[in-house]
Each structure stands twice: as structure tokens, then as C-alpha cells.
Amino acid sequence: MSTEIHSSSVIAPGAELGEGVVIGPFCVVDATAKIGARTVLRSHVVIGPNTEIGEDNDIHAHCTLGMGPQDVGYKGEATRLVVGHRNILRESCTLHRATTKEDWITSLGDDNYLMVGAHLAHDCRVGNKNIMANNASLAGHVRMGDFCTFAPFSAVHQFCRVGDHAFMGGFTTATMDVLPFMKTVGTREAKSYGVNTIGLKRKGFSEEAIKGLQHAHRILFHSGLLRTEAMEQAQAEFGHIAEVAYLLEFIRGSKRGVIRG
């Protein structure tokens, strides 16, 4: 399977294109970019320096991947953007390279769906099988797990974490860590509204896991206990359930605090 490159596109000498790559009209690819097999750039896509894109990605019109970070301290260093496999990036998504403040890499995992205008800032690390709806945004240094769902115009503050299977409602602004498995909703004062029961059932989670998360959430945030006491009680009663154990570990690892109910 040979590559297809539209005559209006500009592919700098040195760019590495895998087998079966398709590049539509008016795209620009930097000399230091790497694009994996069967990835499609539909049109007007810009792939910047030191950007590595995996296989079978579908990148739509006006996406910009791998331009420099929006950080006043950035001085043109050769930081990187790494994108995994089978991602769908709809129109006008922006994914920026890292700064030099951590490990010089911004990354997006596999099988993610980023809708129109979604944004990943510098130094973000995003896992697998996440959905970011229109204009959802991650500020710099955000850590996002797997299977998360962000509704339109939701945003996460820099250095926050988002746990696996988290759900964020439309226009939600998260300035602290977003709990795994929970529904988090709110503009300037976001709150956790408990377990995303319907979403977890659709994903095949067991009744034991869902009930355990529900009980743990009540103990942690609605029992009136001190945090240490609530954590100990939740651990003692439901810590044997893997999902609850992960929730408790996520809370213990928080540096910014978590969004509570």
C-alpha cells in the first residue's frame, strides 16, 4: 500500500511517512515529524516539529499538532508530541508540544475521540479510549486516565489529574483533581455528584463495583467523618473491591485536593 500525497500539500524533506499514509490537500508536515502507517490527514492539517503520530489515526481539517507550547518560558527547545494509534481528531483540534519543565513530552494514547476544537496543552499526558467533546480543554501538565468522557466546553486547570472513567458535564471547570468513576459538574464551583451509575453499567462494570463505589462515596463525602477517618472506614469496608481501591489511592495521591460533593 503506497502513500498518497495531494499535490497542494507541503511535506518537508526528512519527514517519515509510514505505509499507506494519506495526506489530503493543503497540509504541512515538518521535516522532523513521523507519521505511522495508514494515518489520514484529511485537509489543512499542520504537523509541527518533533511530532510522532502512530498508526491508523484519522485527523480532520484544520487540526494543528506539535506546535510549540503556549508558555512564556519556552525558548524553542526540541520538545516532543507523541500520539498513539487509532485516534480520531475532528476539525480544529490543537495538541501542543511540551515545555522543558518535566520530561519534554506531551502525549495522547490510543483509541481516543477528540471532537471539534478540543485542546491538549503542553506537558499533558492523556491515556486511552477517552472522549473529549467540542471545545473541551486541558491546561498544561494535566494527567488524564482512561475511558473518561468530557462534555462540551469543559476545562481542567493546570497540574490537575483526572481519574479513569471520570465524567465531566458541559461547561464544567475543574480546578482540583476529578474523581474516577464519578460525575463532576459545575462552572466555577464544580461538584462531584456521585457515581456515574448509568455510564458504568453501559461499560459492563459489576453490580458489586458500582454499589461499592456508591457506598464509598457516601462515606468519604457525606458521613461527616474527618477525611482520615472516612478513608479508613471506606478502606475497611470496601477496599477489597478493585474500583474502590483505585478511588482511594487516587485521593491519597492528590496534591491539589479533589472535587467533592
Catalytic residues: 122-123, 140
Exposure b/e, 18-45, CB count within 10 A at least 16 = b? bebbbbbebbbbbebbbbbebbbbbbbb
**Chain position carrying cell 498513539:** 84
Cα 142 to Cα 56, 59, 107, 111, 131, distances in angstroms: 25, 22, 11, 19, 16
Helical axes 207-222 vs 227-238, angle rounded to 10°: 160
Contact 53, 33 (CB under 8 A): yes
Cα 225 to Cα 138, 139, 219, 233, distances in angstroms: 33, 33, 8, 9
Helical axes 207-222 vs 242-252, angle rounded to 10°: 30
